Amino acid sequence: MPDLLLRRARVLRLAGPAGSVAEPADILVSDGRIRVIGDASAYATGAEQLDLDGRYILPGLWDRHVHFTQWAISRQRLDLTGAGSAADVVALVAARVAASDEPVVGYGFRDGLWPDRPHRDDLDRVAPHVPVFLAANDLHSGWCNSAALRIAGFAGHPTGLLRETDFMTALRSVPVSAKLDAAVRDAAEAAAARGVVGIVDLEFGANLDTWIQRQTPLLRVECGVYASQLDDAIERGVRTGDVLPETGGLVTMGPLKVITDGSLNTRTAYCHDPYADGGHGELIVPPDELVPLMRRAAAHGIDAAIHAIGDHANRLALDAFAAVGCRGSIEHAQLLAPADVGRFAELGVVASVQPQHAVDDRDVADRYWHGRTHRAFPYRDLLDAGAELVFGSDAPVASLDPWISAAAAVERRDDDRPAWHPEQEITVAEALAASTNRRRSIRVGDFADLVITDDNPLDGRLRGMPVHGTLLSGRWTYAPK
């Protein structure tokens, strides 16, 4: 690959709350790394040259929480995101069944605020023979008709609304798209077009084998594993951060993912205070299981990524990190007791959060966490307490687009309403720093994983940011037009 000289680039520096922009400079890329920042004319003989004309350049963006296969295929499924009721969903399913006798797989319903309740009988009326499997937006529940319930092993289920572990079991029975490889490629290209150079993939299933076979050259991937794959990872001798040699250096071993509670929309997030029905949510993995599991992973060099959404689940997850003394993250950290905010920094636990959830879930949070939302999605409090924030999307729960995530953290809204709890807003520079995999600027010697933008991101217009180009190890994954 020939050397690449990027001329007249303005380098963004994300240190501090405000960040800054350097004067235009040349950037020489050679052998996949940044070799010169400044006047590179003396070193650029024979290099391919591109005049950026004052455009902006910053480290390539990362999404630290993705279910990549689900994201790829969700783009092909029946879209339920706009449905305002169970009746709306049934109408969409009826239209799909009328057009095709293929199984119906849908994604994206949010039933937390619906006036009616999902039930299998409603789907059976419009699809008595065609299997219908519908996944909720949060991937913590699913709605099936009788035909799909039989296939999934839940024949006779009283409502057809499967939650948590039952839903995860049923998910394995969903037909795999014959176009999955093309869908994965399309999703990777779409991510690169938004400046993404890497993801942490927390997909269910045999994730290591999936990415060894997949070898998508457009992204760096850190592969998470679940408890059912932990023994396999240990037998392979891979530790968090180890490169999987079969993948050309782009895929590394990630963390152990453990889902300890449910979700807000499904009303299974495990909380100190009760929901309206008197329940406190669902504790899926209690401490007497979680601590030994984390300890076993840590003994073999594997970090922990612990899903915790409710405030009680977060406290128990922090307690587990304190007991084990291992490295890792809490995924989501959506509702925190005030006494637990400072523990993230004290224990060195990363808060891996998904800011778009804060604006997507504001209404359902106001209903089910009434009186507590001042401590929901508390990004300002976490930063002020010294915690490290990293951003993700939880795609397909939200779009795999770090600019959207950053905007949600900065603005705390994505519609015309006033900002939701604006006291928890953070700055643009802080949001971008949470999106660049711990890189606050570009440096000589770094891999040339870069994103070039037409506009200055520090001006705050993040949603729809025009990306001019994306480089991965000095190779264009999204080339300037």
**Cα 276 → chain centroid:** 29
The predicted pLDDT at position 7 comes to 95
Exposure on the CB side of residue 317, measured as CA atoms within 13 A: 39
User: How much is the pLDDT for 172?
Assistant: 85
Contact 369, 264 (CB under 8 A): yes
pLDDT at residue 53, as a whole number:
97
Q: What is the DSSP string of 174-206?
A: SPPPTTHHHHHHHHHHHHHTTTEEEEEE--SS-
Amino acid at 259: I
Structure-token match 């523990």, residue found? 343
List the pLDDT tens digit at each of the 481 positions of the chain: 789 999 999 999 999 999 999 999 999 999 999 999 998 878 778 899 999 999 999 999 999 999 999 999 987 899 999 999 999 999 999 999 999 989 999 999 999 999 999 999 999 999 999 999 999 999 999 999 999 999 999 999 999 999 999 998 998 888 777 788 999 999 999 999 999 999 999 998 889 999 999 877 899 999 999 999 999 999 999 999 999 988 889 999 999 999 999 999 999 999 999 998 899 999 999 999 999 999 999 999 999 999 999 999 999 999 999 999 999 999 999 999 999 999 999 999 999 999 999 999 999 999 999 999 999 999 999 999 999 999 999 999 999 999 999 999 999 999 999 999 999 999 999 999 999 999 999 999 999 999 999 999 999 999 999 999 999 999 999 999 8
Write down the pLDDT at residue 469.
Answer: 98
Given a contact cutoff of 8 angstroms between Cβ atoms, the answer to whether 201 and 66 are in contact is yes
